[in-house]
């Protein structure tokens, strides 16, 4: 039996007889050139199947490829009965119902259209096309995200002026709650989205709460916001005498700039000071301050405030280095005399440290106390026979009773103090000396004598001005003049001894030559200029603008905000202030 395979170019087309293939027996079907029935399609395997006539049946058996009937399932074997159709790859094998000229006829029709070159080219053209994303949509989306995240959210829920009433932050000023509350954390985050620059460490604690200082939108931070915490901040000068320097009419921010880094930026250049102080009389006609331009070039000699009345504590300013006027502290003391003593002949600063101890903070020294500094040498004994009896320092009213107590005890014990009188050498007829006093007379006499010698000379009077009781006063009514030794003499400047600890005391204080005059003991401007230059600095010398030594704000003249009824004045209260009002 011969089988004739006929090819049709497409379904329904007439077969081309020139392509007919005749099969007498079994025949390989595949893509291989050696196949009996060659099917030139990439979807046909090299050796796809075997055709085998068996009896009256035509059988297709798969080798490498697959066969399928009408259904989708592939099969390994298919029989073609007359009129049957089997799919082999992209071809349909249809057996004719009747044999023609004794040959069984199998029509092979491609069911998949051959590849279209122009379609492939178009697909490639599309594949190599560059398609931009939707630029307008991207722009719109990005703009919206930025506007919502950085404008709408901070305005709506950030720490604005009304955050306390409508914001996410918990009500009130409880910072511990604010720190743990997640909504408060969100508010803090939103506030940080607008914060400009780094907050200073001193204000950083409430830096996440913009409204703490920014009381009104689009308005500068009012001075009242600063003064709410910084109460008592002083004027620079008396606003009556120097109206131009009235800080109540100026904003703190003019000089103190926040958000400029960890250190609060403060305007303290020499030029700002010298603008007025180079000729202060033009702005404050009755000033006693002298003109200044620069510490290194043009600065007056330091003026010390000398005590004029130890009781009223009045002082008089006089230039360091001059002789007049004398300091009237009420104490008689010279460094020269003491430092010449064997006990104080110590090297370097050790002699100074015998009496002087730096006060906490290091700015000044602790007041020199009698017990710590003087009592070792100045024992305040009044009776050589009994050195253990000493006068109480600092309590003049007790001195009389202490001495009287001593002699009363002696009288009771039968002691005598006067040398025994000798009658042997008395002239005849002369009256006999009075007998040695005893009892109350002895106590009164010895007490009076001891007070005269001790208070007036050896004990109190050595350092203090003392005055005897006037006639008619009680005999023990001695008076010791009050003493006032200030811890600072150069009151217009700040100076820290601790900051200068590397410099020996004698470099600035000529104590070994000091005869007691304060003006000679204090260092003058030339001493400071050995290490300090003006603002511009100099080789081997420290650049020292005005603020190195001078303080701008005068604590004795607190700033009063111009209008306490100003709505911007009322605002958040400093935590410390809240504690004080509770």
Partner 1 sequence: MSSAGQPSASMHRSFLSFRGGLYGKLAAAISTLAILLYWLDRPDGPPNGGTLLGYTYGTIGLGLIVWLAWFGIRRRRYGGTGNLENLLSAHVYFGTALVVVATLHTGFHLHWNVHGLAYVLMVAVIGSGIFGAYAFWRIPKLMTANRAGETLGKLSATLASLDLRCQNLALSFPDEIAGAVARCLAPPQARRAVPDRRLTLCAIARVEQQLGQLGSASPADVLALVQALTRRLAVLDRLVRDRRYRALMLLWRAVHVPVTLGLLVALAIHVFAVFYNW
Residues near partner 1, by CB under 8 A: 31-33, 40-42, 45-46, 64, 115, 117-130, 132-133, 135, 138-143, 145-147, 150-151, 154, 192-198, 210, 214, 217-221, 255, 257, 259-261, 265-267, 269
Cβ closest to partner 1, residue 46 vs residue 370: 46
> 196 or 565, CB closer to partner 1?
196
- For partner 1, the closer of residues 133 and 428 by Cβ is 133
Closest approach of Cβ 141 to partner 1, in Å?
Answer: 8
For residue 307 the two structure tokens come to: 């005590």
Q: How far apart are CA 235 and CA 254, in angstroms?
A: 14
Task: Provide, rounded to whole angstroms, the least separation between the CB of residue 100 and partner 1.
Answer: 30
Burial of 124 (0-12, 13-18, 19+ CB in 10 A): exposed
Q: How far apart are CA 190 and CA 149, in angstroms?
A: 9
Q: Structure tokens of 311?
A: 């009781």
Distance CA 146, CA 129 (A): 32
Nearest residue (CB) to partner 1, 196 versus 240 = 196
Nearer to partner 1 among residue 14 and residue 135 (C-beta):
135
Return the number of other C-beta atoms located less than 10 Å from residue 75's C-beta.
14
User: If residue 432 lies in a helix (H) or strand (E), which one and from where to where?
Assistant: none
In whole angstroms, the minimum distance from the beta carbon of 149 to partner 1 comes to 9
Q: CA triplet 575, 551, 494: central angle to 5 degrees?
A: 110
| Choice between 9 and 498, CB closer to partner 1 | 9
HSE-up of 517 (CA within 13 Å, CB side)? 15
Q: Which is nearer to partner 1, 201 or 499 (CB)?
A: 201
Query: Which is nearer to partner 1, 268 or 554 (by Cβ)?
Result: 268
Tokens of 545: 């603008």
- Comparing CB distances to partner 1, the nearer of 140 and 370 is 140
Is the Cβ of residue 119 or residue 372 nearer to partner 1 in the bound state?
A: 119
CB of 577: closest distance to partner 1 in angstroms?
Answer: 23
Q: In the complex, what is the shortest distance from the CB of residue 269 to partner 1, in angstroms, rounded to a whole number?
A: 8
Burial 437-462 (b: 16+ CB within 10 A, else e): beeeebbbebbbebbeebbeeebbbe
When the beta carbons of 80 and 225 are compared against partner 1, the nearer one is 225
> Residue 68 in 3-state DSSP?
strand
Residues 6+ apart with CB under 8 A from 570: none
Q: Using CA atoms, how far apart are residues 505 and 36, in angstroms rounded to an integer?
A: 121
CB of 509 to partner 1, least distance (A): 37
Nearest distance from C-beta of residue 368 to partner 1, angstroms: 43
Residue matched to tokens 């959210």: 153
| Buried/exposed 327-341: b ≥16 CB within 10 Å, e otherwise | bbbbbeeebeebbee
Minimum separation from the CB atom of position 116 to partner 1 (A): 8
First to last CA, the chain: 120
Task: Tell me whether residue 111 or residue 441 sits nearer to partner 1 (CB atom).
Answer: 111
Q: Does a cis peptide bond (omega within 30 degrees of 0) precede residue 251?
A: no
If you count them, how many residues does the chain have? 582
Shortest reach from residue 199's CB to partner 1, in Å = 11
Nearest residue to 319 via CA among 555, 506, 526: 526
- In the complex, the smallest distance separating the C-beta of residue 545 from partner 1, rounded to whole angstroms, is 12
Query: Closer to partner 1 at the Cβ: 137 or 430?
Result: 137
- The two beta strands, 532-533 and 542-543, are parallel
Q: How far is the CB of 274 from partner 1 (least distance, A)?
A: 15
β 77-80/57-62 pair status: antiparallel
CB atoms within 10 A of CB 169: 26
Least Cβ distance, residue 538 to partner 1 (angstroms): 19
Long-range interactions of 472-479: CB distance < 8 A, separation 24+: 475/400, 475/444, 475/447, 475/448, 475/451, 476/399, 476/400, 476/401, 476/404, 476/447, 476/451, 478/396, 478/399, 478/400, 478/451, 479/396
Residue whose tokens read 């007070």: 451
Q: How far apart are CA 517 and CA 519, in angstroms?
A: 5
Residue closer to partner 1 (CB basis): 42 or 429: 42
CA quadruple 264, 269, 274, 276: dihedral sign: negative
Write down the least CB distance from residue 582 to partner 1, Å: 30
Least spacing, CB of residue 125 vs partner 1, in Å: 4
């Amino acid at each position: 039996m011969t089988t004739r395979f006929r090819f049709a170019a497409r379904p329904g087309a007439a077969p081309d007889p020139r392509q007919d293939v005749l099969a007498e027996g079994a025949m390989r079907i595949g893509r291989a050139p050696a196949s009996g029935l060659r099917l030139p399609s990439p979807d046909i395997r090299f050796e796809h199947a075997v055709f085998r006539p068996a009896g009256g049946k035509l059988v297709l058996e798969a080798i490498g490829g697959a066969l399928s009937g009408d259904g989708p399932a592939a099969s390994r074997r298919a029989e073609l009965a007359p009129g049957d159709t089997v799919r082999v790859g992209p071809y349909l094998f249809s057996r004719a119902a009747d044999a023609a000229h004794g040959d069984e006829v199998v029509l092979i029709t491609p069911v998949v259209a051959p590849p279209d070159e122009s379609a492939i080219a178009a697909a490639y053209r599309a594949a190599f096309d560059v398609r931009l994303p939707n630029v307008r949509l991207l722009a719109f989306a990005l703009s919206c995200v930025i506007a919502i995240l950085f404008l709408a959210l901070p305005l709506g829920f950030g720490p604005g002026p009304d955050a306390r009433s409508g914001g996410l932050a918990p009500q009130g000023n409880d910072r511990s709650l604010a720190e743990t509350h997640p909504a408060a954390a969100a508010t803090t985050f939103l506030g940080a989205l607008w914060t400009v620059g780094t907050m200073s460490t001193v204000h950083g604690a409430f830096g996440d709460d913009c409204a703490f200082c920014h009381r009104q939108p689009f308005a500068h931070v009012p001075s009242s916001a600063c003064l709410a915490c910084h109460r008592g901040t002083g004027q620079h000068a008396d606003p009556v005498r120097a109206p131009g320097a009235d800080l109540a009419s100026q904003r703190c921010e003019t000089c103190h700039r926040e958000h400029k880094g960890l250190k609060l930026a403060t305007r303290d250049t020499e030029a700002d000071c010298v603008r007025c102080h180079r000729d202060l009389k033009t702005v404050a006609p009755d000033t006693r301050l002298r003109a200044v331009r620069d510490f290194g070039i043009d600065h007056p000699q330091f003026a010390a405030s000398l005590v004029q009345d130890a009781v009223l504590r009045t002082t008089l300013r006089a230039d360091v280095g001059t002789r007049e006027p004398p300091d009237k502290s009420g104490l008689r003391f010279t460094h020269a005399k003491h430092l010449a003593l064997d006990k104080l002949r110590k090297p370097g600063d050790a002699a100074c440290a015998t009496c002087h101890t730096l006060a906490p903070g290091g700015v000044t020294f602790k007041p020199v106390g009698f017990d710590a500094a003087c009592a070792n040498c100045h024992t305040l004994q009044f009776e050589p026979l009994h050195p253990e009896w000493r006068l109480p320092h600092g309590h003049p009213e007790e001195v009389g009773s202490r001495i009287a107590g001593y002699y009363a005890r002696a009288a009771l014990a039968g002691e005598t103090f006067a040398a025994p009188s000798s009658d042997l050498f008395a002239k005849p007829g002369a009256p006999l000396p009075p007998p040695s006093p005893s009892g109350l007379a002895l106590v009164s006499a010895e007490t009076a004598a001891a007070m005269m010698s001790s208070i007036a000379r050896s004990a109190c009077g050595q350092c203090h001005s003392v005055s005897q009781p006037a006639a008619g006063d009680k005999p023990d009514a001695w008076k010791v003049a009050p003493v006032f030794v200030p811890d600072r003499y150069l009151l217009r400047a700040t100076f820290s001894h601790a900051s200068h600890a590397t410099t020996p005391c004698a470099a600035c204080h000529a104590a070994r030559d000091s005869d007691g005059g304060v003006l000679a003991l204090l260092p003058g401007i030339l001493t400071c200029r050995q290490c300090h230059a003006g603002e511009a600095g100099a080789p081997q010398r420290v650049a020292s603008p005005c603020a190195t030594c001078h303080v701008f704000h005068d604590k004795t003249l607190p700033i009063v905000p111009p209008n306490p009824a100003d709505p911007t004045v009322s605002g958040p209260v400093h935590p410390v202030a809240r504690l004080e009002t509770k």
